Amino acid sequence: MSLLTADPSRIDPQWMTRALREAGAIDQVRVIDLACAPVGNGLVGDSYRFRLTYDGVEPKAPASVIGKFPAVDPDSRRSGSAHVLYVREVAFYRELATTVAIHTPRPILAEIDPETDDFTLILEDLAPARHGDQLAGCAIADCRTAMAEAAALHAPRWNDPTLNSVHCFATVASRRADIRAKLPAIIGHYKDRYRGVIEPEFLALIDRLADTIPRYQSDQSTPRTLQHADFRLDNMLFEVRGNSHPMATLDWQTLTVGAGIVDVAYFLSAGIDPSERRLHEADLVRFYHSELLRRGVRDYGWEHCWHDYQRYTLHGIMMGVVSALSVQRSERGDALFLKMTRGACAQALDHDSFAYWQD
């Protein structure tokens, strides 16, 4: 009998006992009580912490776990299905997490109904940890940690041709044309919403996305690897479990195959103010490159890496624009997406990124 449920209120001690036992997380003890509370800042999925009480003592039994489910908000739920977000995250934890070196929560249960996109993720709880905050930004030391973790994701599957056979990525590729067709309308709605709020020179860049993105997405001149594609502070934990690990990365809904440097450019545009980025980006990208080499990547020189960084800034603009219109609108959401868009537009202007994609 399947444990799949999209409703956290249906999870009781008997359900949790079975899930933990089948995953090998507990042996003899049983869950006799649990308390569920919301956690995190997820926009397209809803996450909860389940605090667990057992009928005995077992050293490895987790005191709590994290559960993730489809968004209750209907707009966010539709976005999760339309962009294949739920399928991708479950596929990551079921098929791909053990093939890369980036630190993530261990999955206890990862199930999805491909017909309805109902899904259940039960994950290891990595508390205590310091949550990244997109609006607050971070110190350069955290940026350096993120660069090392990005390389730990990208290097193990660098130029791996078998990634193209992963089912969820084929589904994503088949829907890219739909996004391209809808992009002019999305941009129009975005401009209507934020005109007079976002700077005119940034709006001018956003206007150029529809013509540029097809070339950007079809480019094959850079080695492909696993790409998180939403590699930003809200999806990161630092000083995990009392600093037993420096960082963990969450929210794998946007996982795709692409240029790894996209995650680097996106993080630096969204995570620190443009003035800080300008001071430190070359050193941080060089550190990322050195970590790739340390982990065995070959035939990807520094000049190629830096050239890719300069041109792959468009992803941050796209994420800011498309995401703003894909989820339930909120004050924090507006602030978040505006910061992301402004940071990526400033980065693109600094590096004249659109010029790399002209005919």
Q: Which domain holds residue 86?
A: 8-124
Domain end point (choices 124, 147, 171) = 124
Q: How many degrees, rounded to 5, is the angle at CA 336 between CA 332 and CA 337? A: 120
pLDDT in tens, 105-125: 999 999 999 889 999 999 999
* Overall average pLDDT of the 314-324 stretch: 93
pLDDT greater at residue 213 or residue 316: 316
**Are 134 and 110 contained in the same domain?**
no
The answer for residues whose C-beta is within 8 angstroms of residue 15's C-beta and 6 or more apart is 3, 5
**Are 139 and 91 contained in the same domain?**
no
pLDDT in tens, 223-261: 999 999 999 999 999 999 988 999 999 999 999 999 999
pLDDT in tens, 143-184: 999 999 999 999 999 999 999 888 888 777 766 667 778 889
**Are 43 and 151 contained in the same domain?**
no
**Are 207 and 296 contained in the same domain?**
yes
**Are 208 and 77 contained in the same domain?**
no
The answer for residues whose C-beta is within 8 angstroms of residue 248's C-beta and 6 or more apart is 103, 104, 105, 126, 129, 236, 237, 240
Task: Kindly state whether residue 3 falls inside one of the protein's structural domains.
Answer: no
pLDDT in tens, 59-102: 999 999 999 999 988 888 888 888 889 999 999 999 999 999 99
Domain end point (choices 89, 124, 159) = 124
**Are 81 and 160 contained in the same domain?**
no
What pLDDT is stored for residue 132 in this prediction? 95
**Helical pair 274-294 and 302-311, crossing angle rounded to 10 deg:** 140
**Are 93 and 149 contained in the same domain?**
no
**Are 225 and 138 contained in the same domain?**
yes
**Are 191 and 90 contained in the same domain?**
no
Number of domains the chain is built from: 2
**Are 64 and 203 contained in the same domain?**
no
Q: What is the CATH number of the domain that holds 278?
A: 3.90.1200
**Are 62 and 114 contained in the same domain?**
yes
Q: What is the CATH number of the domain that holds 50?
A: 3.30.200.20
Domain end point (choices 103, 124, 145) = 124
pLDDT in tens, 326-345: 777 888 888 999 999 999 99
Share of the chain above pLDDT 70, in %: 97
pTM, 2 dp: 0.94
pLDDT, averaged across the chain: 93
The answer for residues whose C-beta is within 8 angstroms of residue 282's C-beta and 6 or more apart is 306
